[in-house]
Amino acid sequence: MGVTNSNKELSTAQIGCGDSFQIRLSLSAEPDIVNNPTDIVLILDRSGSMSGSAIANLKSGAKAFIDIIDESTDGTQDGQIGSGSRIGIVSFATTATQDTQLITSVDDLKTAVDALSAGGNTNHADAFTKANALFDPASNNAKVMVMFTDGVTTAGGDPAAVAAAAKAQGVIIYVIGLSGNGGIDEQALREWASDPDSAYVAITPDDAELEDLFEDLARNITKPGATNIEIIDKVSPCFRITGVSAPTKGTASLVDANTVRWNMDELGVTQSEGAVLEFTVQHIGSCSGTVEVNESVTYSDDENNVVDFPNPELTVDCGVVVIPENCPDPIALTVDGCEDSIEFDAGELGLESLGRIVQLDVTLRDVCPNKRVALAVLLNEVDDEGNEYKRGMKTVTVPAHTSSSCRDVTVRCIKFVLPESLDLSGTPDSMCDTRNLRARFIANYIDNDFDCCEVVL
């Protein structure tokens, strides 16, 4: 069947500056469908949330899947699935229906798919039960279920128990989830699927991608496993790889601080098989916010399987930073090559950045969420007797943060201009004198939930 699934997962969705996390690569493959006849049951969700474009795209995806299996089993799209393989259709809403038995007629399969209409609740347990009942226990064919769903279980019993029983009988379960139609329980999908679950589960938020997902799965199912596999994963320059665990199959090694190479002689050549590689990555550099983890992931094997790994994103939290003043806009000017001097009118300039500039940072401790803060900064210059002279005041509105609890907030780049004519050192207008300064900070919440009581005398 070739490579049937690939995935890349992160151990966490958010880290702090300089923190580490784990990356998990997984790959699954199965033998050639021509030499290893396979019974496949398509389990298709037709609940009410599938109305509109979702069920239309599902039908296109299921029929494309059937066409690919048809051609792959006997070399041509002749309307008959060959080489001993068969496909059955089970659809489900409040209850499940065996829309066909395990058959080889492409027209009958497509007719059953086209007849689907959306309505009702979502009963995954009955769907697995009806699908498993299609398999002949006496058959030597490989047994595969492809479950598609767009919602959580709202009717029937526990689908995990039914799926587990099917897997215990040797059934391989793939799960395709549509997350943009009201929500799915991703953990449940992983529990239903074969192991490693990361290699047997595909989730998309867009029903327009369903046809591509079904086509990719069908093409991989029809290929003869994979041999001489090489995966090269290069992470973003925002990160570095600090450790590589031994994979469950094959060998892995560091190419450089950002790149790991994973090699396997074969996978899924004689039986359904999965493999996993985990490695540890640390955040470095100045990038923060939502960051893509991949720089690139390349895959190759002797069977030319087409394999795409996802590009997961990670939130890097480097703290709350507020910059209340922007740097001055630059003024462009050009000096011609043969001119000894140039005169240029820079225009008007406001009264700032004349003389020395003092730039202050301050951290406000334990600022509660959703409350703005008013911050005042007073700067004085001190003479030799300790007398203070006012040099400036700044007031800043610090925006509210939205963290779940109180946290420190850093306010940076509070700038004061110190004209040299005010130098108290005794030699004004000299840029080389030492000047002694004192800064005071005052801060209070702007937002509060206090209302003064009305007093009646």
Q: State how far the Cα of 231 lies from the Cα of 260, in Å rounded to an integer.
A: 8
Domain that holds residue 189: 33-222
DSSP string, 248-297: SSSEEEEEETTEEEEEEEEESSSS-EEEEEEEEEEE-SS--EEEE-EEEE
Q: Check: CB of residue 128 under 8 Å from CB of residue 160.
A: no
- For position 306, what pLDDT does the model report? 86
What average pLDDT does this structure show over 290-303? 93
Report pLDDT digits (tens) over 248-277: 999 999 999 999 999 999 898 766 789 999
Cis peptide before 196 (omega within 30 of 0): yes
Assigned domain for 378 exists: yes
Assigned domain for 331 exists: no
- For tokens 């549509």, name the residue: 178
- Best CA proximity match to 221, nearest among 206, 200, 193, 203: 200
Assigned domain for 295 exists: no
Where do the H-state alpha helices sit in 33-158? 53-74, 106-114, 124-134
Domain boundary among 202, 222, 242: 222
Assigned domain for 231 exists: no
| Tokens read off for 372 | 């703005």
Residue 307 has pLDDT above 60, yes or no: yes
Assigned domain for 292 exists: no
Q: How many domains does the chain have?
A: 2
- Residue 92 sits in a domain of what CATH number? 3.40.50.410
- The set of residues, in sequence order, having a beta carbon less than 8 Å from that of 257 and lying 6+ positions away, is 240, 241
- Residue 425 sits in a domain of what CATH number? 2.60.40
Q: Check: CB of residue 149 under 8 Å from CB of residue 96.
A: no
Strands in 251-256's sheet, in edge-to-edge order, are 251-256, 259-267, 226-235, 294-300
Assigned domain for 242 exists: no
- For position 195, what pLDDT does the model report? 85
Domain boundary among 155, 189, 222: 222
Report pLDDT digits (tens) over 143-187: 999 999 998 999 999 999 999 999 999 999 999 999 876 678 999
Domain boundary among 222, 240, 259: 222
Assigned domain for 258 exists: no
Report pLDDT digits (tens) over 414-447: 999 888 778 886 665 556 678 899 999 999 999 8
Assigned domain for 15 exists: no
Per-residue burial over 402-430, b = 16 or more CB atoms within 10 Å of its CB, e = otherwise: eeeeebebebeebebebebeebeeeeeee
In the chain, % of residues over pLDDT 90: 65
- For position 353, what pLDDT does the model report? 42
Report pLDDT digits (tens) over 316-343: 988 766 666 666 777 787 777 777 777 7
